[in-house]
Amino acid sequence: MDLEFNRNEDLFKQLCFQLDAKEKKLHLGGGEKKIEEQHQKGKLTARERIAYLTDKESEFLEIGLLAGEGMYKEQGGCPGGGVITGLGRVKGRLCVIVSNDATVKAGAWFPITAKKNLRAQEIAMENHLPIIYLVDSAGVFLPMQDEIFPDKEHFGRQFRNNAKMSSMGIVQIAAIMGSCVAGGAYLPIMSDEAMIVDKTGSIFLAGSYLVKAAIGEEIDNETLGGATTQCEISGITDNKFPNDKACLDYVRNLMDKVGRNDIAGFDRSTPANPVSKPEEIYGIFPADRSKPYDTREILKRLLDNSEFDEYKALYGKTLLCGYGRIDGWAVGIVANQRNVVKTKKGEMQMGGVIYSDSADKAARFIMNCNQRKIPLVFLQDVSGFMVGSKAEQGGIIKDGAKMVNAVANSTVPKFTVIIGNSYGAGNYAMCGKAYDPRLIVAWPTAQIAVMSGAAAAKTLLQIRISTLKAQGKVIEKTEEDKLLKEITDRYNEQLSPYYAAARLWVDAVIDPLETRRFISTGIDAANHSGIEKFNVGVIQT
């Protein structure tokens, strides 16, 4: 057992080391040369602005750092999606912060940039949090304008959200610290208050080149839309400042005077660390994902005092449901049990598979958490729902639908951590991205797809072979093996948590030791919003 623990630990730590290396590289944005160019212009970088703006004793919880990872290779890449987003405290107030990274393509908007900005606005709207925009962007990346401009979830949606947030009473503050061009100019001006930095900040619907092309007028950008023009002549911006720090100081002073909202009232006691060492997760979680393990051992290393009050422990054993605390916050846990379990009837149930009794138990538990106003935490390591004649005759579709219905209609905040497999409808039932978790994160061990790599590769191979045979082609064993490898390699790349994070299917890939911080900050954010009454809707019993 010790040898296996050590092997698991070594492999997991390697995965975390790779994650750390990726993050350090992404923190440089467009690279050290571009960072120096920002400094030569008298500007702080996007990360330096956030560090200066946020309270020194607080931590910035970054969302979407891996957005765009491995994408847009023909365009030279777009590290971090060209924008930094996350949750930070400003004068003690938890805020959503959006900071354009001008070291990446001058802060231009790629399709993933729009998606990331909209995700930040969604977090602000869900949690009724103030949002601060630190604007420094060249506008839409024109070679990809058709993928970012006209659709519902494209560039323009952010301005619609500006208006919606204003009607909801959500505070929006914008600091124009660089370029702010074309349609992007609406974002700061639709905010409650807009500041601008003299000589480096500018805002206009069309820059000097476009103005000349459109109407023949010759004018420089500073005269056209610099701080003096927009503060003293047009009145578009509210105040101008000599440098980034002075502007950010003013933003901090504004946040110091913002009134407080009523809180949702989620229960919190004095935080306590787990009794069992969290770093032991590295050795408990098997490197061979086909091997079982007891998920309770993972929970002992995530929950305060390692205490877990289990619900229906003797029923529906492939799902663990129960109550605990994370950093003091009361939570309801729904976690896949990866051990092979034995029912009272003597039947063996495969770990990680959702059976009818497990789905029924989870649905009832979710209702209880809504009744008691307890946030939900889902720990995913799920292969899917049970299949076969016995499962179908036992009503697996009905019980699965019952669980999905409860998850979909849950009004308490939900948080999802993908620790292992996340396959098929199991992803949905365990509160995948489609079911509106307030935050969804993955460990480096996560895999997200409609089915496992091995199963998918074999299925796709059979389809390919059948097609080739129908064309009269004979497939040799060596060619079949080559095809299987090509399909497997491609599918395995798509299984990766980094593939998911690049496309914002998850908000972050995290070291397991960061799990408690993400969930605690997420519940803290959710506590700023109201909570609707739970209504389960139509459900079959």
224-233 burial string, b = 16+ CB within 10 Å, else e?
bbbbebbbee
**The tokens of 75 are what?**
């365009």
Asked if 421 contacts 380 with a C-beta cutoff of 8 angstroms, the reply is yes
| Distance of alpha carbon 400 from alpha carbon 239, whole angstroms | 56
| Distance of alpha carbon 194 from alpha carbon 176, whole angstroms | 7
Query: Residue 359's closest CA among 330, 336, 332?
Result: 336
33: CB partners within 8 A, 6+ apart: none
DSSP, collapsed to helix, strand or coil, labels residue 226 as: strand
| Distance of alpha carbon 383 from alpha carbon 385, whole angstroms | 7
| Distance of alpha carbon 244 from alpha carbon 198, whole angstroms | 9
261: CB partners within 8 A, 6+ apart: 128, 528, 529
Which pLDDT does position 347 carry in this prediction? Answer: 75
> Residue 211: which H helix or E strand, with range?
helix 208-215
Query: Residue 277's closest CA among 3, 4, 9?
Result: 9
DSSP summary character for residue 538: S
DSSP, collapsed to helix, strand or coil, labels residue 539 as: coil
Residue 476, judged by CB atoms within 10 A of its CB (0-12, 13-18, 19+), counts as exposed
Which pLDDT does position 228 carry in this prediction? Answer: 94
| Distance of alpha carbon 50 from alpha carbon 53, whole angstroms | 5
Q: What is the pLDDT along the chain (541 residues), one digit of tens a residue?
A: 589 999 999 999 999 999 999 999 999 999 999 999 999 999 999 999 999 999 999 999 999 999 999 999 999 999 999 999 999 999 999 999 999 999 999 999 999 999 999 999 999 999 999 999 999 998 888 889 888 888 988 889 999 999 999 999 999 999 999 999 877 788 999 999 999 999 999 999 888 888 889 999 999 899 999 999 999 999 999 999 999 999 999 999 999 999 988 899 999 999 999 999 999 999 999 999 889 999 999 999 999 999 999 999 999 999 999 999 999 999 999 999 998 877 777 777 887 899 999 999 999 999 999 999 999 999 999 998 988 888 888 889 898 999 999 999 999 999 999 999 999 899 999 999 999 999 999 999 999 988 776 777 777 778 878 887 788 887 778 877 887 888 888 888 899 999 999 999 999 999 999 999 999 999 999 999 877 766 666 555 5
Asked if 219 contacts 200 with a C-beta cutoff of 8 angstroms, the reply is no
| Distance of alpha carbon 227 from alpha carbon 241, whole angstroms | 8
Which pLDDT does position 1 carry in this prediction? Answer: 59
Q: Scanning the structure block, which residue is given the tokens 């007891």?
A: 294
Which pLDDT does position 278 carry in this prediction? Answer: 98
Which pLDDT does position 290 carry in this prediction? Answer: 83
Q: Which stretches does DSSP call E strand in 112-258?
A: 131-137, 172-181, 193-197, 202-204, 239-241
**The tokens of 228 are what?**
């003096």
Which pLDDT does position 354 carry in this prediction? Answer: 95
**The tokens of 234 are what?**
């047009």
Query: Residue 275's closest CA among 305, 255, 251?
Result: 305
Q: Maximum Cα–Cα distance for the chain, whole Å?
A: 85
| Distance of alpha carbon 410 from alpha carbon 126, whole angstroms | 14
φ/ψ of 45, rounded to 5, equals: -80, 170
Asked if 214 contacts 206 with a C-beta cutoff of 8 angstroms, the reply is yes
Query: Whole-model pTM?
Result: 0.93
| Distance of alpha carbon 166 from alpha carbon 171, whole angstroms | 7
Beta bridge partners of 414: 376
Beta bridge partners of 140: 109
Query: Residue 165's closest CA among 124, 135, 114?
Result: 124
Residues in the chain: 541
φ/ψ of 350, rounded to 5, equals: -70, 135
CA dihedral 336→271→122→265, nearest 10 degrees, is 100
φ/ψ of 188, rounded to 5, equals: -70, -35
> Residue 365: which H helix or E strand, with range?
helix 356-371
Query: Residue 521's closest CA among 439, 412, 417?
Result: 439
